[in-house]
């Protein structure tokens, strides 16, 4: 058994015990025939306004960031999601005290008892790997399981590791575990100039967090410019970190000795907002969204306008979709400010019923076109060639049973179901619950006809009115995420 230096064997064994403790929380531990499904009766018009939740990808990074601070922090506008619950479980396993009241999360990371993140949780959610940066810079040692590949691609962590090594960490990867430690100089990372081969969101976040408590200045070049990176930087700055340039491709961090308490509100989720903009366009409905930061949605808004939908800014934080006849267009996913890969599947559902031929090129992840087969089951005409999908617009989609293959694919299938004739049944909802805060509740409120049922509750669920949240819904949701 390899146990990294600075970690006691008793602690190592205890962490292994935590791993097995958490294994029952995996949504797939639920028998397949008991997993909930979403029934959608398509072609209902939507109207009204929808409230956009806090950004999942900001929340997850910022929750890792609380490990940097030995004072208490309050996070506001935290979305209610399975991924957030998992991150809470990881923080708890490391010794962080948490208190959640709705969208407010109070965090006390004054006593981090462990430097090793539990395998079963990290393996379920890639974002949990981001704890490596804060743990290492605060404790001088961190062990985090390799997150492994996932449905959308291999997703290595080489850029995170190389950056930490440039800052003086010794890193070894053994038995699926990344062990990192800092020797000498009071176990403190050293500032460094780091050029990222690719503007990885996660690597930028890991290294920016690590640099906040390092000795000296760190420059991250070719950094990711996503709004969630900027949000994390703003959170760190609110705790006293010295960071400039976040949101551009060069970030400068001057390490400080310690960070202090803060009360921070997470930005609205641009991908959830984009999904609702597409919901308006695909159902030919006028709906409003708030709060949003329109500039974060610039590439999405530009494409919707090209496709024939108008997006009106009614107030600085409010957008309205005014639908129109849908026309084909081409899309290439790119790092921000390019078109987001996290909106690719939803736009494919929309372009499936637009007039003409579109080409969608996925350049960020190598395996993110698996929803094509499911959309084709609904009557779409899409062919995949390499990382391109050639979409021939069809006049209508037809409801069908479909299987979600990843988080954004599940949203695309729900959108397709809203536009389709007849009934669509979406399976694989554990993907949806990872990243959408009450999507079906929000859609119901707008007038969509849909409901969630588990097979054994299906008979009684049939008696509740379509489109109304019912008691079955909360039963299913709590089964999926015991800590919510
Ligand atoms: N990559 C490497 N080496 C690394 C890191 C990344 O080769 O060390 C590659 C990846 O394999 C991928 C590309 O770089 O091909 C982009 O990955 P990136 O690191 O930017 O993505 P991430 O940090 O793993 C975050 C979001 C994703 C979002 C991407 C791109 C979180 C928790 N996740 O992932 O969100 O798609 O950035 O914007 O922030 C989602 O919400 O559905 C989702 C997948």
Lowest-confidence region among 28-32, 144-148, 279-283, 397-401: 28-32
153 neighbors 333 (Cβ within 8 angstroms): no
pLDDT digit string, tens, across residues 193-217? 999 999 999 999 999 999 999 999 9
Q: Which residues pair with 331 in a beta bridge?
A: 360
Residue 385: φ, ψ to 5°: -135, 105
pLDDT at 30: 60
pLDDT at 473: 32
Q: pLDDT value at position 458?
A: 52
- pLDDT computed for residue 148 by the predictor: 65
The DSSP-derived string for 34-50 is GS-EEEEE------EEE
What is the position in ligand 1's atom list of the atom closest to the CA of 335? 38
Q: Per-residue pLDDT averaged across 345-369, rounded? A: 97
> Closest ligand 1 atom, CA of 127?
32
Among protein residues, the one with the nearest Cα to ligand 1's atom 11 is 155
Give the separation between CA 211 and CA 192, rounded to whole angstroms: 9
**pLDDT for the residue numbered 335:** 98
Chain segment 360-402, per-residue pLDDT in tens? 999 999 999 999 999 999 999 999 999 999 999 999 999 999 9
User: Which tokens belong to 310?
Assistant: 């108008």
Say which residue, 429 or 1, is predicted with more confidence. Answer: 429
Q: Which residue, among 295, 226, 221, has the nearest Cα to 58 in the 3D structure? A: 226
Question: How many CB atoms sit inside 10 A of residue 81's CB?
Answer: 24
CA of 118 to the centre of ligand 1 (A): 21
Burial code of 251-290, b = ≥16 C-beta within 10 A, e = fewer? bbbebbeebeebebbbbbbbbbbbbbbbbbbbbbbbbbbb
CB 196 near ligand 1, within 6 Å: no
- Can you give the pLDDT at residue 217? 98
Residue-wise pLDDT for 3-32, tens only, equals: 333 333 333 333 333 233 333 334 445 666
Q: Output the pLDDT for position 189.
A: 97
Q: Which of 69, 73, 150, 236 is catalytic?
A: 150
**Ligand 1 centre distance from Cα of residue 103 (Å):** 25
DSSP bridge partners of 147: none
Find out whether the beta carbon of 441 lies less than 6 Å from any atom of ligand 1. no
Q: Is 364 in the pocket of ligand 1 (CB under 6 A)?
A: yes
Residue 238 has pLDDT above 50, yes or no: yes
Q: What is the pLDDT of residues 453-468, one digit of tens each?
A: 987 655 444 433 344 3
> Does 438 score more than 50 pLDDT?
yes
| 150 annotated active-site | yes
- Ligand 1 close to Cβ of residue 160 (< 6 A): yes
Beta carbon of 408 within 6 Å of any ligand 1 atom: yes
Q: What is the residue-averaged pLDDT of the chain?
A: 88
> CA–CA separation, 297 vs 274, rounded Å?
7
DSSP letter at 248 equals B
φ, ψ for residue 107, nearest 5 deg: -130, 130
- Compute the average pLDDT of residues 74-79: 98
pLDDT at 60: 97
**64 CB under 6 A from ligand 1?**
no
């Amino acid at each position: 058994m390899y146990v990294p230096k600075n970690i006691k064997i008793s602690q190592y064994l205890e962490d292994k015990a935590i791993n097995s403790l958490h294994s029952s929380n995996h949504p797939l531990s639920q028998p397949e025939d008991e997993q909930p499904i979403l029934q959608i009766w398509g072609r209902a018009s939507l109207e009204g306004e929808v409230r956009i939740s806090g950004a999942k990808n900001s929340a997850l990074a910022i929750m890792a960031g609380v490990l940097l601070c030995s004072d208490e922090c309050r996070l506001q506008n935290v979305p209610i999601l399975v991924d957030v619950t998992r991150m809470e479980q990881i923080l708890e396993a490391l010794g962080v005290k948490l208190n959640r009241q709705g969208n407010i999360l109070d965090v006390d990371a004054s006593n981090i008892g462990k430097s090793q993140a539990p395998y079963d949780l990290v393996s379920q959610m890639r974002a949990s790997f981001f704890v490596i940066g804060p743990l290492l810079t605060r404790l001088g040692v961190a062990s985090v399981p390799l997150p492994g590949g996932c449905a959308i691609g291999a997703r290595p962590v080489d850029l995170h590791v190389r950056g930490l090594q440039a800052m003086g960490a010794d890193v070894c990867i053994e038995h699926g575990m990344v062990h990192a430690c800092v020797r000498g100089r009071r176990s403190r990372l050293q500032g460094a100039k780091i050029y990222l081969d690719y503007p990885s969101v996660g690597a930028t976040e890991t290294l920016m967090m690590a640099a906040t408590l390092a000795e000296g200045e760190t420059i991250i070049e070719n950094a990711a410019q996503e709004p969630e990176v900027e949000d994390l930087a703003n959170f760190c700055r609110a705790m006293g970190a010295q960071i400039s340039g976040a949101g551009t491709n060069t970030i400068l961090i001057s390490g400080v000795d310690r960070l202090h308490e803060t009360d921070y509100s997470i930005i609205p989720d641009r991908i959830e907002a984009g999904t609702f903009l597409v919901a308006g366009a695909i159902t030919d409905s006028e709906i409003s969204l708030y709060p949003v930061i329109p500039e974060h949605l610039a590439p999405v808004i530009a494409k919707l306008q090209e496709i024939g939908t108008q997006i009106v800014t009614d107030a600085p934080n409010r957008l309205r979709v005014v639908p129109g006849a849908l026309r084909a267009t081409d899309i290439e996913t790119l790092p921000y400010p390019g078109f987001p890969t996290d909106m690719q599947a939803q736009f494919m559902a929309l372009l499936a019923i637009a007039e003409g031929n579109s080409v969608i090129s996925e350049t960020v992840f190598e395996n993110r076109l698996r929803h094509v087969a499911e959309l084709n089951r609904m009557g779409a005409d899409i062919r995949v060639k390499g990382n391109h999908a050639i979409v021939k617009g069809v006049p209508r989609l037809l409801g069908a049973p479909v299987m979600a293959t990843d988080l954004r694919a599940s949203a695309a299938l729900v959108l397709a179901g809203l536009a389709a004739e007849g009934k669509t049944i979406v399976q694989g909802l554990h993907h949806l619950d990872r990243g959408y805060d009450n999507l079906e509740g929000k859609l119901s409120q707008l007038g969509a006809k849909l409901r969630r049922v588990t097979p054994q509750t299906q008979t009684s669920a049939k008696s509740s009115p379509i489109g109304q949240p019912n008691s079955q819904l909360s039963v299913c949701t709590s089964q999926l995420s015991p800590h919510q």
